Amino acid sequence: MSQEKQHISSYTSHFVVLITLIILTGISVAVTRVEMGPLNTLVAMIIAGAKASVVLAWFMHLKFDNKLFAIFTALVLVIFLLVLYVTFFDYSYR
């Protein structure tokens, strides 16, 4: 394991990640003022998902690591989304 090359991110990239997260947080707060009914939840989830992806890709180095990890993470997200979809399949047709 030790012979695998380490990727060291620069301060600039960390800073860009931070700014992106702050901007996205601002948007998710601002968007609550727009009345969209059930779509509000969807939008909030999409923004939160974008934030999580930024953290995973740059801050947690998924982008620079073995592709296998990215594939597994994606699969997990697919399962998570499907679970949410199936749950809301109940709520939206009650």
Partner 1 sequence: MSETNTTNQHVSFLKYQGKYKGLLGWILSTDHKRVGLLYLYTMLVFFSTAAILGLLMKLELIAPGMTIMGPQTYNAMFTVHGIIMIFIIVVPGLPAVFGNFFLPLMIGAKDVAFPRLNLLSWWVYVIGILTVLSSQFIGGWPDTGWTFYAPYSFRTPVNILPALFGAFILGFSSILTGINFIVTMHRMRCPGMTWFKMPLFPWTLYATAWIQVLATPVIGITLLLTVMERVMGVGIFNPAMGGDPILYQHLFWIYSHPAVYIMILPGMGVISEILPVFSRKRIYGYKAIVLSSLAIAFVGYFVWGHHMFTSGMSGRALYAFSFLTFLVAIPSAIKVFNWVSTMYKGSLNLQTPFYWAVSFIFVFMIGGLTGLVLGSLATNVHVHDTHFVVAHFHFIVFGGTGFSFMAALHYWFPKMFGRMYDRTWANTGWVIFFSGFLTLYLPMFYLGILGMPRRYYDYLPEFHGGNIISSLGAIAMIAGILIVFVNLIRSSRHGEKVTEKNPWGGRTLEWQTDTPPTLENWETEPTVTEQPYEYK
7: left (phi over 0), alpha (psi -120 to 50) or beta: beta
Nearer to partner 1, 1 or 34 (CB): 1
Nearer to partner 1, 27 or 45 (CB): 45
Question: Least distance to partner 1 from the beta carbon of 66, Å?
Answer: 10
Round to whole Å and give the CA distance between 20 and 85.
Answer: 28
Residue among 28, 27, 20, 26 at smallest CA distance from 58? 20
User: Please, are residues 27 and 81 in contact by the beta-carbon 8 Å criterion?
Assistant: no
Structure token pair of residue 26: 């601002």
Q: What spatial distance separates the first Cα and last Cα of the chain, rounded to whole Å?
A: 52
Nearer to partner 1, 34 or 68 (CB): 68
Nearer to partner 1, 17 or 77 (CB): 77
Question: Least distance to partner 1 from the beta carbon of 22, Å?
Answer: 26
Question: Least distance to partner 1 from the beta carbon of 44, Å?
Answer: 17
Residues near partner 1 (CB under 8 A): 1, 76, 79, 82-83, 86-87, 89-94
